[in-house]
Each structure stands twice: as C-alpha cells, then as structure tokens.
Amino acid sequence: MTIECLGRLLFACNGVLGTRHVDGMTAYARSTPSAGGLYPLELYIVCQSIESLPDGIYHYDARSHELERRRLGMFHGTLSDLTIGQEMIREANLVIVITALFFRTMWKYGQRGYRYVWLDAGHLGQNLYLVAQALGLGPVAIGGFFDHEVNQLLMLPADEDSIYLICIGQPKKASNPPA
C-alpha cells in the first residue's frame, strides 16, 4: 500500500475539512458527522508493508494530517491474538483502531452522550468502508477483541478506550469469478 493511499483513506474518513470560530473557540469541521461537533474519536494505525512508513503503531492527528509514531515493530500477530484469532489481520496492510474519549461528548449530553459516541463510531466506520472500497481495498470490521489488552498495546491513556477495529488490505483475487 502506498503512503498516499493511506493518507487519502485517513483524510477522507476523519480529516479536518476546515475551521470556524464560535464564541472565541475554534471548531473543526470533519468529513464525518459527530454529535454536537465534539469529535470524541481518535484513530490509531497498526501498519505493515506501507510504502515509506516503518511497520508499527501510529496515532493519526486529524488537525495536522500527520501520523505520530507510538511504537515500531510488527504487531499484527499480537493484534490477531487479541481479536480472538481474526486471521485476516495477519496479512492486512493496516488495522485502524477507533478509540473514544467519552468525556468529550458526555460533558455536554450526560448519559445520552454515551450513545452518541457509538453513533459517531458507526459513521466513521462507514466512511472507512466507503473510502476503502473506492480505493480498491478490502475492509473488514472487527468488534470482538480484548479491550484492556488492545488499550495496552496502543499505550492509551486511562480515559481513552478502543471501541472498534477495521482491518484494511489488498483484496484477494477470487479463484472462480462469477460468470
């Protein structure tokens, strides 16, 4: 996978499209809807075989459209084990881990904010699927994983939680394509 393809994927699913100023504060408009424009989700990339990018774990900074290195190395085998044996992870170029900072939404909406965070994750996941398909990639969503262990692998702070994984790679060619 090229670094340009990865950049397009990340920007189209969660990049900052522009800013506006409201009551002395800067609001960032993104390509994915979010309840109250609060954007409680963050993206972490577990990657391998990305052109010009060392294998490892990165945080996507949507405001600057940059990857922040967290850890170098091969983590796809570990991540496969933490997803209860989802073997497609081992060969995928990347696994995008969507994390949530629930307080970003709950301070405004109380308990209902918890629901809004999950809706935001659904919107972002759908954007990932649509963009990956448009780029000729094969996305697979994963909801079953060991939360605490994935949080540790990503070295997340205590107030941030992994909530959704989407593995993305080159789709395999069908041996007997439909007629």
In this prediction, residue 140 carries a pLDDT of 95
Q: Report the pLDDT value the prediction gives residue 123, as an integer from 0 to 100.
A: 95
pLDDT of residue 150: 98
pTM of the model: 0.92
CATH superfamily of 3-14+38-169: NADH Oxidase (3.40.109.10)
> Whose structure tokens read 């629901």?
115
Report which of 103, 106, 107, 83 is spatially closest to residue 95, judged by C-alpha positions: 83
* pLDDT band at residue 177 using 50, 70 and 90 as cut-offs: low
Mean pLDDT, range 49-67, rounded to an integer: 96
* Identity at 47, one-letter amino acid code: C
Instruction: Give yes or no for residue 176 having a pLDDT over 70.
Output: no
52, 36 in Cβ contact below 8 A? Answer: no
Domains of the chain, residue spans: 3-14+38-169
pLDDT of residue 178: 62
- pLDDT tens digits for range 13-46: 899 998 888 777 777 888 899 998 889 999 999 9
Residue 1: strand, helix, or coil: coil
